[in-house]
Each structure stands twice: as C-alpha cells, then as structure tokens.
Chain A
Amino acid sequence: TQLLEQSPQFLSIQEGENLTVYCNSSSVFSSLQWYRQEPGEGPVLLVTVVTGGEVKKLKRLTFQFGDARKDSSLHITAAQPGDTGLYLCAGVRGGGADGLTFGKGTHLIIQP
C-alpha cells in the first residue's frame, strides 16, 4: 500500500510569515497533486507536478516535486488570512486509471 505522510498536520501562523508543508512517501508516484479543501466542500486542484525536480509557482505558492518522485513540498510566502484551509497532497498511482492516494492533510490557519 502506498502511503503519503503529510506534515505538519496543524499549523497556525501570523499573517505575513512564510511556511512549508511537506508530503513524503517511501513509494514512487507517477505524479503528485496538491489540493485545497474548504469545510463541507470537495477538494479543489491547485497544481500537478509530474517530473522529478519540477518546481511550479502559483502566485505566492511554490510547489516542488522531489528528484526521486517520492516527496513534494508546498511553500507559501507572506501568508494571508485567505490562505486558511485544509491542504492535501495526493499521489497518482501508476497506470493512469487509479484513484488518488491522499495524505492526511495540513490544517492551516493564518491569523490577521
């Protein structure tokens, strides 16, 4: 069974600070996705990383895929209260037809 360990599980910081969320596995994934989920709603895709070592930027969010495609990180610069939410990483198992393996998520609170 492929597992994704996500850390930290909970993070509360002040507006303007930087933070990094980590997603680690002992397994190789063909690609990794990051989602954001609001309470009572389904996850919304933020980014997909496919190539080992790949870095993608989405405004103040920077996503990186590890060289071995076993881990990924999400870095937020100058966090804002609007960034508050549950962030989930999800690994795509090989073959293209499988469902996603999700990490446990990081509950992020940005205090004004």
Chain B
Amino acid sequence: GAVVSQHPSWVICKSGTSVKIECRSLDFQATTMFWYRQFPKQSLMLMATSNEGSKATYEQGVEKDKFLINHASLTLSTLTVTSAHPEDSSFYICSARDLVRGTAKNIQYFGAGTRLSVL
C-alpha cells in the first residue's frame, strides 16, 4: 500500500524557535498534500492544502505567516511552524493523495504524525 513518511515523529523546542516538519510520499506521486492538526482528545482539523508548485491554500483562522508550507516536488511537502509558542503544541499530521489512484475518490494516505511540544 501507499506509504507516507513524516519526520520528525516528535520534537521539543524552545518558545520562539522555528520547527520544520517533512511529509514524503515514498512510493507514489502527490500533487496535493494536506496538513492537519490534532489536539489531545480531539479530532483532526484541516489547516491547509499544499499544492505542488503553487501556493498553499489555508483554512479560515490559520495564519499563513505562522505556518509556512512548501511543496517543491511531487513527493515532498514541508510545514514550518515559525516562532513557535506553547499554544502551538499539538499533533501535526500530513496526508497525500495518490495522483494516479486517489483522485476519483479523494483517497488520502496519512503520515504517522509529528508531536510538537513547545516549552
């Protein structure tokens, strides 16, 4: 099956620093990747849609200057949390849609997530 790799799986950083999270589709190409955030005991909330070669589309209430997204290739999207603060601590999950097999039914394959803790 399709595999999406997310790195790092866990990161602790000091308040004010920036953190970059990578999302890679390992065995398929993905023109579209999605970034979600999940707080403890809550569901996933879509943050932004990452499109290869173009600007990301952010959901209402998500600061684009705070959460920088770059989708430079068909297999890699990155999310950078800039000047992180404790309230940014969360579980960040990416997903990728298979260009060939996923388009019709919007089948997305999820990464294992990145737990961010900002001190």
A→B interface (CB under 8 Å): 6, 30-31, 35, 40-45, 48, 50, 88, 90, 92, 96-105
CB-based nearest A residue for B42: A104
* Chain B residues in 8 Å Cβ range of A103: 43
Q: A42-B93, A45-B107, A92-B106 are in contact. Are A102 and B43 (CB under 8 A)?
A: yes
* Chain A residues in 8 Å Cβ range of B112: 40-42
For chain B, what secondary structure do more than half of its interface residues adopt (helix, strand, loop), or is it mixed? Answer: strand
Contact in complex: A42, B110 (CB < 8 Å) = yes
Some 25 contacts from A to B, beta carbons below 8 A apart, are A6-B43, A31-B105, A40-B113, A40-B115, A42-B4, A42-B110, A42-B113, A43-B93, A44-B110, A45-B108, A45-B109, A92-B106, A96-B103, A96-B106, A98-B49, A99-B34, A99-B36, A99-B95, A100-B44, A100-B108, A102-B43, A102-B45, A103-B43, A104-B43, A105-B43
